[in-house]
Amino acid sequence: MRRFARLFHDLDATTRTAEKVRALVVYFSEAPAEDAAVALAMLSGKRQRRGVTTTLLRAWAAEAAGIPDWLLEESYAAVGDLAETIALVLPDAAVDAPSRGLAEMIAATIEPLAAADPAEKQRIVTATWQQLHRDERVVWHKLITGGFRVGVARTLVARALAEIAGVEPATMAHRLMGLSAITAEDYQKLLDADAAVDDPTRPYPFFLASPVDEAVASLGDVADWSAEWKWDGMRAQLIRRGDVRVLWTRGEELASDAFPELIAAAERLPEGCVLDGEVLAYDECELLGFAALSRRAGRRRVTAKVLREIPCVFVAYDLLEADGQDLREEPLHVRRARLAALGLPAFKETADRTEPTAPLDGVEEAPAPRLFFSPRVSADSWEALAEARATSRERGVEGLMLKRCESPYRVGRPRGDWWKWKVDPLEIDAVLLYAQAGHGRRASLHTDYTLGVWDGDLLVPAAKAYSGLTDAEIAEIDRIIRQTTRERHGPVRVVEPTLVFQLAFDGIAASKRHKSGIALRFPRIARWRREKQPAEAGRLEDLRALLPPSQQAERP
């Protein structure tokens, strides 16, 4: 526990990527496998079971510290973090008790806490306080109240583990894909340099595109590029390996339960096949839009009514594995040719609506196709592509994707081979960092948001935007803000970065007055991206890349 607390504090204390990786390497090379496995699951964002409410914890802490409740609350206001406040006010442990391992602590305290009655809970909590150092208490309080989150990008965890295992970071990133609960054995397998980690459900790390502006002609010969529509849906991998059929979102959430019709359709894919593509809400004639899709995403169970009202399809644009072979090193044109050979129908965003014909007796109606192929948008010049792109809005797509024909399927967002050439308004996915209550009708709700984008592994504020969300969404987000508040400063709440929004803006300029170095013109929230994880949010360099060329040089 002491070791894990040290990791937590080290990650929290530094803003330098290299030092975060260093701290992770130190932790994972020293921790016993059973602790490391638990730590890895928690760093991967595994939700914790709540053992005790913060209300009870506050009352017991005030009692143990010999201070009135109001003074604990005033202390909380000064610290901004309840777990830390309680750790600070409690008297130090009487004896220097030997530190118990993380896994043991969880088994010995958190699991029993969840099952205990209040009196027993208090006994466990006060007894455990006697065994914990101040720094350990902070972490333990977060664990028992279900509020443990740590600000470390998954790529850094992958880098640290890769260093320990002596494998490439991309290899480790792949091994970590889709990992949630893991055992000590799983963990040891992860670190095995030559292990073929053969979990059949495992997806590949996604290759992400970077935004590109009007200067696309600088990309070179248009013939070297494969263009497709940028579908306005949810990025996903559809996997069929033996009996396993799963759908993974880009946030590494298993979305199979939310899209049963796609899982059913995957049965017709050949064995050993992994598709990269987009889930779209589509009713056989037209796109239903992103708002409709968001009613499907992130659900554990989908009602028959929602299934009927919002049918979904999967539009594949890449083939990552065929016949059980990893194709990612093959050039895009080869992968696309093999994808085409699967015989999926080319997706069209609109189709003529035909009257349903009554099925013949005894003959089952052929199910509507669910899996499609994302066709190439052909053009012999950049001008022609620009013309095609100009039709994006009426097609209900976000613009064009430009992919270099010779590109392998890379990991992460290396610039150069994949570009997203969106139509205006400019957009970026950003993470909620600070929230403040609104005015008037919404004075009791948090409606003013400060949103951040990634700069290295840090989230930096990029814009302040007022909510353009529905009342129902605002109420739901307000609840989440209250639950995930990390610090309070007067009316402003610093929240755990968990909520992702699509931020639309009309322009961008370099700004020396902003820490981010950029200022967005008329930033506003376009929509809530429930299906996205903070790690998937946009990057500061994406925004900088949108600066007019004259301002690019000014950036720090």
Partner 1 sequence: MPTLPQRSTELEMPGTLEMSPAGLYCPAGGFHIDPWRAVPRAVITHAHADHARSGCGQYLCLSTGKRVLRERVGGSARIDTLRRGEQVRVGDVDLKLVPSGHILGAAQVCVTHRGVRWVVTGDYKLEADPTCDPFEPVETDVLVTESTFGLPIYRWGDPQDTADAINAWWRDSREAGRTCVLFAYALGKAQRLASMLDPSIGPIYAHGAVMKMVRAYRDSGVRLPPIDQLAPATRRAGGGRAMVIAPPSAAGSRWLKTFGETQVAMASGWMTIRGVRRRRGFDRGFILSDHADFPGLVQAVEASRARRVYVTHGSTASFARFLCERGIEASELSTRFHGEEGSDESDVDQPAADSDSPALPDEQADEEAVEETS
Give the interface with partner 1 as residue ranges (CB under 8 A). 9, 12-15, 65, 67-68, 70-72, 74-75, 78-81, 84-85, 88-89, 92, 138, 433-434, 450, 461, 463-464, 487, 489-490, 492, 494, 507, 511, 513-515, 519-523
Q: How far is the CB of 555 from partner 1 (least distance, A)?
A: 16
- Which H/E stretch holds residue 85? helix 82-89
Cβ neighbourhood burial of 468 (10 Å; 0-12, 13-18, 19+): middle
Structural contact between residues 284 and 368, judged by C-beta atoms closer than 8 angstroms: yes
Please tell me the distance from the alpha carbon of residue 155 to that of residue 171, in angstroms, as a whole number.
11
Q: Which residues of 48-71 are buried (b: 16+ CB within 10 A; e: fewer)?
A: beebbebeebbebbbebbeeeeee
Q: How far is the CB of 489 from partner 1 (least distance, A)?
A: 4
| Residue 505 C-beta: closest distance to partner 1, Å | 10
Q: How many Cα atoms within 13 Å fall on the side-chain side of residue 86?
A: 27
**CB of 66 vs partner 1, minimal distance in Å:** 9
480 vs 494 by CB, closer to partner 1: 494
List phi, psi (to 5°) of 452. -125, 160
**Locus of tokens 């539009």:** 315
Among 202, 198, 210, 190, which Cα is nearest to 237's? 202
Q: How far is the CB of 386 from partner 1 (least distance, A)?
A: 26
Minimum CB distance to partner 1 smaller for 86 or for 212: 86
- CA dihedral in degrees (224, 426, 456, 148; nearest 10)? -130
CB of 129 to partner 1, least distance (A): 15
Rounded least distance, CB 450 to partner 1, Å: 6
CB of 515 to partner 1, least distance (A): 7
Cβ distance to partner 1 smaller for residue 65 or 114:
65
Structure tokens at 401: 């994707």
Nearer to partner 1, 293 or 543 (CB): 543
**Closest-CA residue to 416 (of 408, 404, 427, 405):** 404
Whose Cβ is closer to partner 1: residue 392's or residue 450's? 450
Give the residue with the Cβ less far from partner 1, 11 or 477.
11
SS3 of 92-120? CCCCCCCCCCHHHHHHHHHHHHHHCCHHH
Cα–Cα dist 44/507, whole Å: 35
Of 353 and 489, which CB lies nearer to partner 1 in the complex structure?
489
The continuous run of DSSP H or E covering 363 comes out as: none
Taking the least distance from each CB to partner 1, the nearer of 1 and 5 is: 5
